[in-house]
Structure 1
C-alpha cells in the first residue's frame, strides 16, 4: 500500500477533481445526515439499533463511508492521499472505541487529535529544516523554499487553531450543533483560510524545471 507523497498532483487527480472532492466530503455528509435522521434509519434498518443512539449510528456509517472512500481513492486515483488516510485511521480507531464503550468522547475528540497531529507535524518538521506541507496537501503548485516555509507555518498554526476550536465546540454545545459545525462551519473556515493564502502562493510560485512560462 502506498500513500501520495508527491507535491505535484497525479494525472488521475487532475482528471477526476470532483471525484476527489466527493471522496473527501462524502463521509462527512453521511455523518451529518445519519445523525440528523438517526431514528428514521433505525426504523428502516432495525439492526442499527444495536449500535446505540443516533450519534453512534452516524459514527458507524461515517467509518464505513471513510473506508469505502479510501478504497475508491486507491482503485481510481491510484494512491491514498496522506491527510485522508491518517484521518481515516483515527476515525476507525476512535469510532470503534466510541461504539464499543458507548462513549461519545472518543469520536468527538477525533478532529482535535487529527488537526493537532498535522499542526505539530508541520511545525515540528520546520524545526528540522523540512517543509512537509507538499506531502500533506498534494499541492497543485510549486513554491520556492521561503514560500513553503511561510505557508507551512500558517497551515501549522491553522491546524492547531482547528484543534482548539473543536474542543471548544464539542465541550460547550449540543451534539447536533457540533456535527453541523463539522460540516457547515469547519469547511467554510478552511476554504476562506485557503483563499487567503493565494497572495503568498502567487508571490512565491516558481516554474518547475523543464517548463517555460507562456
Structure 2
C-alpha cells in the first residue's frame, strides 16, 4: 500500500514539453490504488481466506489484490504522462517485492516495512548528495520551483530529515499499534504530513526563488 507515488515531482528535464493529462485521470491512477486498498481492507479486515490450503487474514488478501493494481496503475500513468519519477518506480518495485514476500511467508510485517525502506533509501540518496555538496532534489524539482543554490541545499536537508522522520514514524506505528492504526496512518496521516511539510516551506520558496534573487540584484 502506498501514497508515495505522487509525493515528489517527475524527473522530466527543464523546458521539456509535458503531455496534457486529464487531472481526474491522473489523480485516479495515483490515488486509486491506496483508496481501493483502504476500502477493501475495511470490508475484509475481520475475515480470513483459504487459498491452496493456506489461510490468509483479510489484510494479506487485500495486499494480494493491491500489488497488481499498483503495477497496472503505474503502467498506465507512464503511458499517459510519458514518464515516471524515481519515487514512483521505487514504490511499485517495493510493493511487488515486499508485498510478495508478505504473501509468500503469510506475514504482514514485510509490506508494513515497505514505507520505511523507501524513506530510508531517499534519506540516504539525498544525504549522500549533501555530503558531496550537491542537491539531488534539485535535479528532479528545479523546473517546478526555480531557486538559488543556497535555497536548494536548505530544502534538500529539510526533505532528507523529513524522510528520516517518516521512516521512524512508520516503524513506531506498525510495531506498536494495530493494523487498523497503520492503515489509517498510511491512508490519511502521511498525505496530511506531506501537505503540512511543504506548506511550511513556502517561506523558503519565496526567500530563495530566482525571481527574488533577480529583484535583489536589480
Unaligned runs of 5+ in 2: 1-9, 212-218
Greater alpha carbon shift after TM alignment, 4-13 vs 160-169: 4-13
Q: 1:7 & 1:130 partners in 2: Cα distance?
A: 17
Give the structure-2-normalised TM-score.
0.82
Q: CA offset at residue 129 of structure 1?
A: 2.2
Kindly indicate whether the alpha-carbon contact (under 8 Å) linking 1:133 and 1:148 is maintained by their aligned counterparts in 2: yes
If the length of structure 1 is used for normalisation, what is the TM-score?
0.83
Output the CA distance in 2 between the equivalents of 1:57 and 1:140: 39
Residue 211 (structure 1) aligns with: none
- Per-residue deviation at 1:59? 1.1
Deviation track 1:151-192 (CA, whole Å, cap 9, x = no partner) reads 000000000000000011001111111111101111101101
SS, match of residue 210 in structure 2:
coil
Residue 5 of structure 1 contacts residue 82 of structure 1 at CA under 8 Å; is this kept in 2? yes
How far apart are the structure 2 equivalents of 1:138 and 1:163? 25
Distance 2:93 2:68 in 1: 12
- The SS at the match of 1:169 is helix
From 66, 70, 85, give the equivalent of 1:62: 66
CA distance in 2, matches of 1:146, 1:74: 33
CA–CA distance in structure 2, aligned partners of residues 102 and 64 of structure 1: 18
Distance 1:164 1:40, change over 3 A: closer
Give the alignment partner of residue 185 of structure 1, picking from 182, 189, 194: 189
- Root-mean-square deviation (Å): 2.7
Of the candidates 31, 34, 39, which is equivalent to residue 37 of structure 2?
31
- Within 1, Cα distance between the matches of 2:136 and 2:24? 25
Partner residue in 2 for 1:151: 155
Deviation string 1:114-140 (CA, Å, 9 cap, x unpaired) is 011111111111111221113455762
**For residues 81-107 of structure 1, what are the alpha-carbon distances to aligned partners after superposition, in whole Å with 9 as ceiling and x for unaligned?**
211111111110000000011011100
Q: Tell me by how many angstroms 1:194 deviates.
A: 0.9
Q: Aligned with 2:133: secondary structure?
A: coil
Question: For structure 1, which segment, 129-138 or 67-76, has the greater mean C-alpha deviation from structure 2 after superposition?
Answer: 129-138
The answer to whether residue 206 in structure 2 is matched with residue 196 in structure 1 is no
